[in-house]
Structures are given as C-alpha cells and as structure tokens.
Amino acid sequence: MAGAFVGALAILTLSMVFSWPVAGGKQSPADVAAENLAAAFEAPAGSCLNWKPDGSDMKPVGCDQPHLFEVTGDVDISAEYNASAPSPTEEAWREIAKQKCTTGAATYLGGKLDPFGKYSVGALKPSDEQWRDGDRKLRCGLQRAAPSGNTLVATTGSAKNQDQSDVYDPGTCLALVNKNVGDPIRCAEEHAYEITAVVDLAQIFKDAAPDEAQQQAAMLEQCTKLTNDYSGGLDLASKKLLLTWDTRKPESWEAGSHHAVCKVGAPLPDNTGLAPITGSIKDAGPAAQSSAPATPSSAASPPPSSGG
C-alpha cells in the first residue's frame, strides 16, 4: 500500500481542479491537469498511470512508458460503507485494499502473483471530498515499492508480460539505512549493496524447479564469474567486500519469477548488518573500499538468507 497514500494525495490535490469546466479555445495548465485526472479516474483495467514525485499531475500513460501504477480493476465498497459512514482510517484503507484488490490483481496476472516479487497490490482511494460526495470506488492496481516501502519505483511494460522477480539492473546501488538495505541511490553515495549481475535461473534449470542447494551452487558459479567481469577482476576481499546473491522461493518460481541478482556488500564483523560502501567497484580504487573493519571472509559467499 505504499502507493495508496501517494495516489490519494494526487486525487486530493487535484480534486477541486477536476470539477472545473474545460473552456473552449486554448487550454490552461489547470484545464489539462483536470482532463488528465478525469482520464485517470476512469482508466480501465490494463491502463497505466504516472504522476510527479509530489503527487501532482496524475495521468494515464502508455504502459511502454515509465509508470507508477497499473490499473487492475475497480472495487465498489458502498455495501460496507453507506452514504453516512465516515471515511476509513489509513490503517483500515490498507486492510480494505488488501482484501478487495489482491484477488483481482492475481486474476489480472493470469492467476500468478509472486508474493515475494517486485509487484505489490495498491489502491487509489477517494479523497475526503470525494468520499463526502458519495464516491465509494477503490481503484486497484499493481505497483513497485522501493525497499523502504516509502516510495514507488517506476516500471516499464505491462506487469502481465514481466518476470516478477524483485531485481534491479546491474550498476544499481541500494542505500544503507540503519545497517540494512534502503532504496536505489547513486553509487557515489554511501550504500549497502551494488548490483553486479542478473542471472536467469530458468536458463540453467530448464526441466524442473531447483531447490535451494541447487540455486546456491549455480549462483556461486555465475556470480563469481559475472562479478569478476563487471569489476574488471577486482579482488573483493582486499577491499573488505563480500559477494552475495539472491535465490528464488518455490512460490516465486511457480509464479514465473526466475531471475536473481548478484551483489556486493560489506557485512559487519558482528553480523548485525551492513557497513557503508562508497563508490562503484568498477572504479576499483580506494573510493570503492568499505569503511567496515576487515573480516575473515572469502570473496564469494552465500547470502544470509534467500530472496523472494
């Protein structure tokens, strides 16, 4: 539901604009915003929506363009909330969206929604003004939340045609927040991990779903080679860095999520989290060195836990 607040903010910000009539002749920016929002309100399943970081200018865009929300359907909750009912709390809205939108989202994806994948179920709720006017329609959709859950990550292409693995492209760095993983950030800033490769496990395991041990062995081999190529042969241990990777859970594999990432980080010696890294390992210089104390680890090691 990370996007529910963003969506509600956009609707609240522009709802008064939405009611303005569109005059003839040259349109003002407010007129254009009103038309965009009207189209977003009525966007059918399969439509994609985008908006600015401040929640303004919500509008439909082609799904082949970067977008923050893909509509999977509408849900009317007027049976549970009559005309005199107060607007639900934010916590209640999250539960309503979970109960009302999840099944439809899975159906929209052909019955396969990876519970550990990059897509989460979200909803755009009526603003307080719309609620008072009797709007009880919830716009359900799919979105990609950043690791923090506080922001959304734009995606390109319909979710129907995507491998749902929660992966980022090589060269992406993820922020360090309280010794843990945060949102994508510039590699020049302190970060927790740098993604060095994406492995398609379906190309390795073509006949049957691999178990955890098989995935670990395959990722060890692939990540060692691919990360060495990515970094230009950097000795990770000399920089106090550790190669790790994700694997896919059975539920993810069944949903068609077969990609996993190789990544480089710097676990703290006491295993309480991650140390900050500054600079890309592609630079292979002092700037890429972790500030963590040296640890007696090899250049390649399995991750502490499996990914989705």
What would the two tokens of residue 243 be? Answer: 């190669």
The torsion angle over the Cα atoms of residues 180, 186, 187 and 191, rounded to 10 degrees, is -10
Q: Note the pLDDT of residue 12.
A: 27
Q: Is the pLDDT of residue 4 over 60?
A: no
Could you tell me if 156 and 65 are in contact, meaning their C-beta atoms sit under 8 angstroms apart?
Answer: yes
Backbone angles phi, psi at 49, to 5 degrees: -120, 150
Q: How confident is the model at residue 94 (pLDDT cuts 50, 70, 90)?
A: confident
Read off the tokens for 250: 């059975």
The pLDDT tens digits for 195-225 are: 999 999 999 999 999 999 999 999 999 999 9
Q: Please classify residue 88 by burial: count the beta carbons closer than 10 Å to its beta carbon, then call 0-12 exposed, 13-18 middle and 19+ buried.
A: middle
Show the 3-state SS of the chain. CHHHHHHHHHHHHHHHHHCCCCCCCCCCHHHHHHHHHHHHHCCCCCCEEECCCCCCCCEEECCCCCECEEEEEEEECCCCCCCCCCCCCHHHHHHHHHHHHHHHHHHHCCCCCCCCCCCEEEEECCCHHHHHCCCCEEEEEEECECCCCCCECCECCCHHHCCCCCCCCCCCEEEEECCEEEEEECCCCCEEEEEEEEEEHHHCCCCCCCCHHHHHHHHHHHHHHHHHHHHCCCCHHHHCCEEEECCCCHHHHHCCCCEEEEEEECECCCCCCECCECCCCCCCCHHHCECCCCCCCCCECCCCCCCC
How far is it, in rounded angstroms, from Cα 56 to Cα 54? 6
pLDDT at 293 over 50: no
Mean pLDDT is highest, among 4-8, 87-91, 207-211, 300-304, for 207-211
Q: Is the pLDDT of residue 305 over 50?
A: no
pLDDT for res 42: 81
pLDDT at residue 259 in the model: 98
pLDDT of residue 299: 37
Nearest Cα to 108, choosing from 76, 139, 142?
A: 142
pLDDT, tens digit (0-9, with 9 covering 90-100), for 238-261: 999 999 999 999 999 999 999 999
For residues 269 and 266, what is the distance between their CA atoms, to the nearest angstrom?
A: 9
* Residues 223, 302 contacting (CB under 8 angstroms): no
Question: How far apart (Å, rounded) are the C-alpha atoms in residues 83 and 129?
Answer: 13
- pLDDT tier at 114, thresholds 50, 70, 90: very high
Q: Which of 133-137, 195-199, 243-247, 281-285 has the lowest mean pLDDT?
A: 281-285
Band of pLDDT at residue 22, cut at 50, 70 and 90: very low
| Other CB atoms within 10 Å distance of the CB of residue 229 | 11
pLDDT at 281 over 70: yes
Of the ranges 12-16, 71-75, 109-113, 294-298, which one carries the lowest mean pLDDT score? 12-16
* Dihedral class, residue 196 (left if φ above 0, else alpha if ψ from -120 to 50, else beta): alpha
For 155-177, what is each residue's pLDDT tens digit?
A: 999 999 889 999 999 999 999 99
In the chain, domain spans = 2-161, 173-288
| Range in 66-80, 109-123, 135-149, 293-307 the model is least confident about | 293-307
- pLDDT higher than 60, residue 101: yes
Q: Report d(CA 241, CA 294) in Å as an integer.
A: 9
